[in-house]
Structure 1
C-alpha cells in the first residue's frame, strides 16, 4: 500500500510503499544531473530514511530517458572560484557516503545512460538492477575533467584494468558488460525493470531489519581490512549479532520448521 507520493524540492519524487521507499530523480530535461539542488534533496531524504526504523529498503530511480548524466556542467561552469567547486564535489562525496552508510540497502534502478557521477551513483548503491538497454560511462576525460571522484566508487566495484579502460577512454559500456564487470547485479528487459527492482526490494524488506543493518555495515568495513583483521572483526560482529532477539527467533524458527516473526531488533 502506497503511503506517500510527493515531490521533494521539485527534484525528486518520494513514494513509500509498505517498508520500501522509492526516490525518483525527476529532472528529465536536465538529464537528472547531480546539481547541488538535486544532491541536497537526495541527502535530505536519505537522512530522513536513516532515522526511520520501519523503512527497510530504498530504490533509487529516475524519470525521463536518462538515469543520471552526472554533475550539472552548466552549474560547474558558472562557479568562478575554487572554494565553490570544492564545496560541490564535497557535497557529492557526502551523498555517496550517505548511501554506503545508510542502515538500509539502496538499490539503483537504471535505464538509459548513467554517466560520470551518475555512474558513481550506481557504483555507490548496494545493488543495481539495469535494463538491458542501459549504458554506463565515465567520460570526463573527453572534456578535460577526469572522473576522479567517480573513480573511487568505480574502482571499488570492478577490476582495475576494466576501471582504467572506462576512465581513460570515456567509452560507454553496455548493461551486459557492466554485469560481467560487477558494476550491476541484475539485468532485465525495459518492461520488467520496475517490477524486478520492486520485487528485489520487497524480498530484502522481508528480512530482519536489524540483521540487514548489521550485515551492510560489516560488509563495507571488512572489505577495506587485511584478511586477518577482517576475520577478527567479522567474528566480533557475528558474536554481537548472535545476541540479538532476531537471531534467536530466526534460529528457533529454522529448528522448529516455521516462519520467523521478526522484531527487527
Structure 2
C-alpha cells in the first residue's frame, strides 16, 4: 500500500496522505513518498492544480516520533532528517495553484505543508496545532511562514503555546480560507480545483510567481520583474488562444503551452 497516493484527472492532481492507522503521522518512508508526489506534480505538464488531502479521521498527526525520518533536526541526541527547500513544505519553488482539504487534527509537519497551499478548505471538525514547544522543540519552518499568513499575535498563539485551535478560530485568523461540513470537504475542494482549471495555467503560474518573488523586492524591481513575466507568458500559445477566443466570443481551450 502506498503511503501517499497520487491521482491525476482532468488536470487536477490529488495527493493523499494514506497512513490512517497512524493518523497519517509522517515517517521516513511516507516523507519520501510525499516528496516524490510533489515532484511529480511539479514536473507533469498536464497537472495544473494540486489538492493535498488525507484518508481517515485525521489529516496529519505530525512527524512520527518513533521514526526520526519523518521529521527534521536534532533533538535529545537523536539525529533526524534535515530539511531542504526541495520539499514542498519547506519551500519548493512551485507556482501551480494548490489546495489543502483538511479534516480532523492537522499537527506539526502536516500544518507546515498546509501553510504552503494557496487555499485551505477545512471541515468543521478540523483542528490546527504546532505542539513542538510542548516537547521542548522549536518550530522552524512554521515559525517562518505562519506570521505572514495570520499576523504576529495569531501566529504566536499557535507557535508559543503548542495548543490546538479550532477550525472556526483558524477561519477567523485567516489560516483557513473556507469552512465546510465534513461530508462536503472533498467535493468543495474538487469544485474549486475545477474552477481554477478554467483559467490559463501558464498565466496562473506567472501571476503566482510574480506575487511570490516580488514580496521582498522594491517597487521598481517588482514592476520590472512583473513586466518581464508578462512578456514571457504573452509569447505562449495559450496567450494567442485567449485573444482568439475573446474575438470569437467562445470559451478558450487551454493547452498549457
CA distance in 2, matches of 1:225, 1:174: 35
216, 227, 231: which one aligns with 1:224: 216
2:28 corresponds in structure 1 to 36
Larger CA deviation: 218-227 vs 249-258:
249-258
- Tell me whether 1:69 sits opposite 2:61 in the alignment: yes
Q: Is this contact kept in 2: 1:147–1:167, CA < 8 A? A: yes
Q: Is this contact kept in 2: 1:25–1:62, CA < 8 A? A: yes
Alignment of 1:120-131 (within 5 A): 120-131=112-123
Alignment of 1:75-224 (within 5 A): 75-76=67-68, 82=74, 88-90=81-83, 94-97=87-90, 100-224=92-216
Q: Is this contact kept in 1: 2:200–2:256, CA < 8 A? A: yes
Deviation by residue 1:71-98 (Cα, 9 ceiling, x = unmatched)? 111223999x959966613158723246
Task: Call closer, same or farther: CA 1:42–1:16 in 2, change over 3 Å.
Answer: same
> What is the TM-score with the length of structure 2 in the denominator?
0.88
Q: Is this contact kept in 2: 1:39–1:91, CA < 8 A? A: no
> What is the TM-score with the length of structure 1 in the denominator?
0.86
CA distance in 1, matches of 2:69, 2:11: 40
How big is the shift at 1:134? 0.9
CA distance in 1, matches of 2:116, 2:139: 15
* Unpaired stretches in structure 2, ≥5 consecutive residues: none
CA distance in 2, matches of 1:243, 1:76: 47
SS in 1 for 2:150: coil
State the Cα RMSD in Å.
2.6
Q: Which has the higher helix share?
A: 1
Q: Is this contact kept in 2: 1:129–1:193, CA < 8 A? A: yes
Q: Is this contact kept in 1: 2:26–2:70, CA < 8 A? A: no
How big is the shift at 1:53? 0.9
Runs of 4+ in 1 over 6 A off after TM superposition: 83-86
CA distance in 2, matches of 1:93, 1:85: 23
Task: Call closer, same or farther: CA 1:54–1:82 in 2, change over 3 Å.
Answer: same
Task: Call closer, same or farther: CA 1:227–1:187 in 2, change over 3 Å.
Answer: farther
